[in-house]
Structure 1
């Protein structure tokens, strides 16, 4: 017995020291912030490329990636592919990524990932100079040339420099009521066609113009590259919106590539498709400055949960909080004496509350459980075996979830649709166990257990959703070792619980 106690104490001390040491090293050694205060954006960009490979044909996929000469700095750039060679080259001022394979078959999926920040970039915005003059685009004699010359004359009169000349050109090309513009556009009024006409008119004044393709730094937004125009005036690059003529590239735009070449070209494949996923996380601003200059601290991004794919990170942010919920239930049961339906049922209910919200979750749990208990009581009179009885209750729970979702949708309560995410098996087993408790210990005890379970699940939910706590546990997962040490220590607790002190209060008075 003594050896077991010694073994347990040593195990608790080792876990405690290990958890504290790793967490302290991350905070004091690497300088990872404890809170999210004084933070700056850390952008993660996932680019997914899909296409269908042509059998028995070499595959070569070329895609432009950001040049990172716009005041941004890369913390991590990775390429995920299976049996593909990878290279990055400079092509006409752009960075072009090339995947290549001798053979490929069926649907292919490739990933490009970039983790970057802007505020502490050591690189200044691109000082690359552009051309200040160009040869005009030649048009053959005909109505198109006449229309272009008719448009360029008033543009010259209403402009004073390159900036105003291009803005005025864009404004006039977007006036589709002008007959000259209609003639030049033909039946195509797309942004790309308008940019082509602007380029034509601007070239007649020997003013250089370049197309740039940008993406917006916005999380959870489905988007395609957005076309902008730019020109070099001898001192700086001037950016223009091709639809409004407004000057100045917004701060939330990231230039992906420039020129007329398409984003992606696939040799040996067909139906290429590119999707972008942006996610913004927060790290301490001072620490970001150090991360951009130190490869040691930058390794934190590779060997932490932040190095996982974005969708996996979101899943782990939920999973990693489950021990917090278990700890809450452990304290409520072993120290306070609250009666619940086991340890994990309240935690699973708390996870369901993350989808429904606390008020809706409590209401839905109460309604479905009460109706399920009524059905379980009725089925008891039929003297069914346990498996058929559970099957009937589970089916009833599914029907109730569908009915409540439909009713809430009709009434305009869209939050009620989240009830479909409530674990049906958990509800079914909760109803079964509550009914057994009712039969064995009475209605009052069953009601206490149900209220205790609901209270414990609600408290666990409130703690598991605290942003500061989620950030801390996700950033410093070694703290879970400290929680395990505490749980092991509580495993040998044999003292009174708070509720027992209340129950035996009269006994103490007699003594």
Structure 2
């Protein structure tokens, strides 16, 4: 007995641990939303390219577009242009679109549109490390100034992160004579980044320029320059003005390297204007869309991967254990009598079609008339099978009559009674009549009322939208439910109704 108790406790603990672990993995690692009402941002980015084409000259326009290999995934990408060929090439972690035309003249406008969202899956693609470049050649005063700057940086740094951060801070100190010499009067961000790259190159530390776009709704944007360095395991991003480490979450990497965003052959006065706006979408729908576009395994083993019609069926089926849980609590803890365990759950499922009020009324009327017929047939001394056949036929006739009168009176809800499970009603009538004969009318009425109460409570619980979504999205919760049922299987205490029944013994 002791070994059985230990086995049961271990089984319950394993089921609870598995249910919590799988659900936590889906929520915190895969990023599946916990609520159906939860929404996520959807970003629309428009890049408008304008230039003046040179007459009778072939035009070739090249522009970097986001690689989308980090925190964001593309839902839609489009290129709008008249009489231009479009191609996309990949090179060194970048993507570049090329518009080309044999003949163009006058002012030209090309559009690039991108719709993206945050990447839902926690698994991000691994990025390769950098290819170390030779340090820029320095001679004379520039070399002495650079070495003078590197010496204190080495003393005040402990690793690559602190070395790069300290280098950026030193390069932005415009009061330092060595920095002034290297800048040569040009204090632009590009020149300061060049100085940082020069110092890091002399120290054999990799550095790469990162051009980002800040995701702010309803605002014009221009790319912002950031720097990044590889520490042997991952890329570290740095603010080129302050040396602060870490790329903000609202930055989208547009392209990498030293090249210009836009190059135009056969044209002049080229410029790019960015405009952004955001909208919200249901989080789980957005997760499904991003999964399809990213070819990820985010929802591969989820019930959302089933056909839509099958999903609707499973949304009903997966809630049946909660209906059974209601019956289990009502019978084992409270002591309410019902017609079996699963009959109230099946009646609760029928209430989905008729509605709760109509369902209770129809169940009461048809059961009462069926019991009257069953009592009449008992006097004819029929065998059980013919008797059940007559009662079933009577139930079908009653359903047809009620549906007809409901339609004539304008109560369309009564028409769905045709979907009411006739076999369940017939068996309920038969069981009630047997209970009536064996244990009396009072006990039969208690069982009928208890069945209705249990079916109504199960129906209410099984129809809670938040619970339906949570269990359908995180089906591992059923393991926790099974563990609770196993724990209740060992309950041997008093039920609430029994406390009232045996209260007389406690008077003394």
Residue 399 of structure 2 corresponds to 401
Q: CA deviation at 1:7?
A: 2.0
1:446 is the counterpart of 2:398: no
Shift in alpha-carbon separation, 1:121–1:414, aligned structure 2, 3 A: farther
- Secondary structure of the corresponding residue to residue 339 of structure 2: coil
Q: CA deviation at 1:28?
A: 1.7
Residue 80 of structure 2 corresponds to 128
Q: Quote the Cα distance in structure 2 between the aligned partners of 1:475 and 1:289.
A: 16
Q: Quote the Cα distance in structure 2 between the aligned partners of 1:131 and 1:290.
A: 31
- Secondary structure of the corresponding residue to residue 302 of structure 1: coil
Q: Quote the Cα distance in structure 1 between the aligned partners of 2:41 and 2:377.
A: 57
Residue 26 of structure 1 corresponds to 26
Residues 151-230 of structure 1 correspond to what in structure 2 (within 5 A)? Answer: none
Shift in alpha-carbon separation, 1:285–1:319, aligned structure 2, 3 A: closer
Q: CA deviation at 1:290?
A: 7.7
Q: CA deviation at 1:5?
A: 2.0
Q: Quote the Cα distance in structure 1 between the aligned partners of 2:391 and 2:5.
A: 45
Shift in alpha-carbon separation, 1:41–1:365, aligned structure 2, 3 A: farther
Residues 11-410 of structure 1 correspond to what in structure 2 (within 5 A)? Answer: 11-39=11-39, 122=74, 126-131=78-83, 282-283=282-283, 298-410=296-408
Residue 479 of structure 1 corresponds to 477
Q: CA deviation at 1:444?
A: 1.1
Residue 198 of structure 1 corresponds to none
Q: CA deviation at 1:283?
A: 2.6
Shift in alpha-carbon separation, 1:236–1:31, aligned structure 2, 3 A: closer
Shift in alpha-carbon separation, 1:22–1:307, aligned structure 2, 3 A: same
Deviations 1:45-71 (A, max 9, x none): xxxxxxxxxxxxxxxxxxxxxxxx999
Q: Quote the Cα distance in structure 1 between the aligned partners of 2:423 and 2:356.
A: 20
Q: Which runs of 5+ in 1 are unaligned?
A: 43-68, 72-119, 133-232, 238-280
Deviations 1:374-416 (A, max 9, x none): 0000011111111111111011111111111111111111111
Q: Quote the Cα distance in structure 2 between the aligned partners of 1:459 and 1:349.
A: 11
- Secondary structure of the corresponding residue to residue 126 of structure 1: strand
Give the greater-gyration-radius structure (CA): 2
Preserved contact between residue 70 and residue 125 of structure 1 (Cα < 8 Å): no
- Secondary structure of the corresponding residue to residue 283 of structure 2: strand
Preserved contact between residue 20 and residue 479 of structure 1 (Cα < 8 Å): yes
Q: Quote the Cα distance in structure 2 between the aligned partners of 1:426 and 1:124.
A: 51
Q: CA deviation at 1:122?
A: 3.0
Deviations 1:314-370 (A, max 9, x none): 000000000000001000100011110011000000000001100110111011100
Deviations 1:128-182 (A, max 9, x none): 31249xxxxxxxxxxxxxxxxxxxxxxxxxxxxxxxxxxxxxxxxxxxxxxxxxx
Q: CA deviation at 1:440?
A: 1.0
Preserved contact between residue 70 and residue 126 of structure 1 (Cα < 8 Å): no
Shift in alpha-carbon separation, 1:343–1:286, aligned structure 2, 3 A: same
Residue 221 of structure 2 corresponds to none
Q: CA deviation at 1:299?
A: 1.6
Residues 470-509 of structure 1 correspond to what in structure 2 (within 5 A)? Answer: 470-509=468-507
Q: Quote the Cα distance in structure 2 between the aligned partners of 1:384 and 1:323.
A: 38
Shift in alpha-carbon separation, 1:285–1:393, aligned structure 2, 3 A: closer
Preserved contact between residue 40 and residue 285 of structure 1 (Cα < 8 Å): no
Preserved contact between residue 372 and residue 431 of structure 1 (Cα < 8 Å): yes
Q: CA deviation at 1:37?
A: 2.9
Shift in alpha-carbon separation, 1:442–1:290, aligned structure 2, 3 A: same
Q: Quote the Cα distance in structure 2 between the aligned partners of 1:16 and 1:330.
A: 19
Q: Quote the Cα distance in structure 1 between the aligned partners of 2:75 and 2:472.
A: 31
Q: CA deviation at 1:286?
A: 8.7
Q: CA deviation at 1:2?
A: 2.3
Q: Quote the Cα distance in structure 1 between the aligned partners of 2:304 and 2:37.
A: 18
Q: Quote the Cα distance in structure 2 between the aligned partners of 1:401 and 1:299.
A: 48
Q: Quote the Cα distance in structure 2 between the aligned partners of 1:423 and 1:40.
A: 42
Residue 468 of structure 1 corresponds to 466
Shift in alpha-carbon separation, 1:390–1:291, aligned structure 2, 3 A: same
Q: Quote the Cα distance in structure 2 between the aligned partners of 1:292 and 1:307.
A: 11
Q: Which runs of 5+ in 2 are unaligned?
A: 47-71, 85-107, 113-280
Residue 226 of structure 2 corresponds to none
Q: Quote the Cα distance in structure 1 between the aligned partners of 2:76 and 2:395.
A: 61
Q: Quote the Cα distance in structure 1 between the aligned partners of 2:300 and 2:293.
A: 15
Shift in alpha-carbon separation, 1:35–1:124, aligned structure 2, 3 A: closer
